[in-house]
Amino acid sequence: MSNKGSLYLIPTTLGDNEPLEVLPLSVKKIIEDSSFFIVENEKTARRFIKKICPKKVQGSLKIETLNKFTDITLLPTFLNPCLEGENVGVISEAGCPGIADPGADIVSIAHKKGITVTPLVGPSSILMSLMASGFNGQSFAFNGYLPIDNQERNKSIKQLEKLALQKDQTQLFIETPYRNNAMFDSLVKQLQTSTNLCIACDISLANAFIKTAPISYWRKNKPELHKRPCMFIIGK
Residues that bind a copy of itself (CB under 8 A): 9, 20-26, 96-101, 103-111, 116-119, 121-124, 126-144, 169, 203-204, 208, 210-213
Q: How far is the CB of 60 from a copy of itself (least distance, A)?
A: 25
Nearer to a copy of itself, 45 or 52 (CB): 52
Instruction: Give me the numbers of helices (H) and strands (E) for the chain, helices first please.
Output: 10, 10
Q: How far is the CB of 59 from a copy of itself (least distance, A)?
A: 29
Q: How far is the CB of 67 from a copy of itself (least distance, A)?
A: 15
Q: What is the DSSP string of 101-160?
A: STHHHHHHHHHHTT--EEEPP---HHHHHHHHH-S-SSSEEEEEEPPSSHHHHHHHHHHH
Q: How far is the CB of 144 from a copy of itself (least distance, A)?
A: 4
Nearer to a copy of itself, 99 or 182 (CB): 99
Nearer to a copy of itself, 32 or 58 (CB): 32
- Phi-psi label, residue 114: left if phi above 0, alpha if psi -120 to 50, beta otherwise: left
Q: How far is the CB of 110 from a copy of itself (least distance, A)?
A: 7
Nearer to a copy of itself, 74 or 213 (CB): 213
Nearer to a copy of itself, 126 or 183 (CB): 126
Residues 6+ apart with CB under 8 A from 59: none
Q: How far is CA 178 from CA 13, 163, 201, in A?
A: 21, 27, 13
